[in-house]
Amino acid sequence: MAKNSVIRLDNVWKTYKMGEVDVQALRGLSLEVNDGEFVAIEGPSGSGKSTAMNMIGALDYPSKGSVYLGNHDITKLSESQLAVIRGRKIGFVFQQFNLLANLSAMENVALPMMFQGVSPSKRRERARNLLESVGLGDRLNHRPSELSGGQQQRVAIARALSNNPEVILADEPTGNIDSKTGQAIIALLRGMHREGKTIIMITHDHKLAKFADRIELLKDGVIVGGSKK
């Protein structure tokens, strides 16, 4: 039975203007990720990983080519339309955690639900349940400065799950934590994949990429090879 495509990039180019110079960050990137896959996008520094993540996550528009979230071509959507669809379909886990310093763990997790119109009582209940599911039931009211790096990343994962998205997009999810904690974070991602989530991981680390079911190698803004388990 064929699986549904959740994200598709067709011949995507991204050009940035640096003074008088055009910098080609992506050079015809094509990629399709189907429902339920665990895919790693692997590449060295300067390969276009960050730009690829922005395209895959519909955080930016391509200079040329098309990006589809399900059946939606993002180039034909306004930023407000795109923000709504992106908020429902994709949960983001960033290397820098990107938690709001003045909010508690529970408030950070609840915030994306507010933008989707979820009631305050349901936001609190789901945030509590998600934090308990990642082992932080005793840290609900702690602010990021009161949490370790690994705990902050688990809050970020709980936040990524808050709107029950189809896809988790993780950018170097173990980059700012120690190796032991990193193994726990990967175990969480693999657990989410077993439960049916689509996982896309951006990484420079081949050891990390090998946890995925499929690896796509990125170099100079284009896929140059890959492997599949």
**pLDDT value, residue 31:** 95
Look up tokens 């079911």; give the residue.
Answer: 213
Give the start-to-end residue ranges of the domains of the chain. Answer: 5-228
**pLDDT value, residue 94:** 87
**pLDDT value, residue 180:** 85
CATH homologous superfamily of domain 5-228?
Answer: P-loop containing nucleotide triphosphate hydrolases (3.40.50.300)
Q: Which two tokens stand for residue 56?
A: 């895959």
What is the spatial distance between Cα 216 and Cα 229, in angstroms, rounded to a whole number? Answer: 12
The alpha-helical segments, DSSP class H, found in 90-148 are 105-115, 120-133
**pLDDT value, residue 177:** 84
Query: pTM, whole model, 2 decimals?
Result: 0.91
Q: pLDDT tens, 106-133? A: 999 999 999 888 999 999 999 999 999 9
The alpha-helical segments, DSSP class H, found in the chain are 49-56, 79-89, 105-115, 120-133, 149-160, 179-194, 206-209
State the sign of the Cα–Cα–Cα–Cα dihedral 158, 207, 32, 96: positive
**pLDDT value, residue 1:** 36
**pLDDT value, residue 27:** 95
Opening angle at CA 40, ends 36 and 42, nearest 5: 165
**pLDDT value, residue 181:** 85
Residues 6+ apart with CB under 8 A from 114: 123
The parts of the chain modelled with pLDDT lower than 70 are 1-2
Q: pLDDT tens, 30-67? A: 999 999 999 999 999 889 999 999 999 999 999 999 99
Pairing of strands 167-171, 90-93: parallel
